[in-house]
Structure 1
Amino acid sequence: MKRLTDFIEKQSFGVCNALGNRLGFSSSSVRLSFVYASFFTFGSPIVLYFVLAFWMNVRRAMRQQRRTIWDL
């Protein structure tokens, strides 16, 4: 079961895992609260999820493009 959730999390941008690591919660509790919030608010946290996924990919791309003086 752990391998399946890791695979799904990796394929789905890793937002819940990153939030869990940053806030000090387990990724499964963040994922579960996200699912509950999606049901209670009729899916509006999905927009927040995609915004966070976009932001994480932009930050990752910026880190990869960043050059140091030693790279010249």
Structure 2
Amino acid sequence: MSARKLFYLGPQGTFTHQVAVNAAQELARLEPQGFDLMPMDDVPQILDAAQHGDGWGIVAWENNVEGYV
């Protein structure tokens, strides 16, 4: 069995990427094979991939620097 995909709003090094790294660590007990972190270009792509069962997704609900996203 391969690692589960975890989609996030890219690119690497963003706040969303850091959340994905943290989430992968916290969720490791649920996915023994781990996670492949997959950067995406926009939130609709993340939601579409997750809805189609391609993996799990991380999206920002609120950005403390810029306000609601």
Q: What TM-score comes out, normalization by structure 1 length?
A: 0.31
- Which structure has more relative contact order (CA 8 Å, sep 6+)? It is 2
Please identify which structure carries the higher strand content.
2
Which structure's residues are more often helix, by fraction? Answer: 1
Normalised TM-score (structure 2): 0.32
Q: Which has the larger radius of gyration?
A: 1
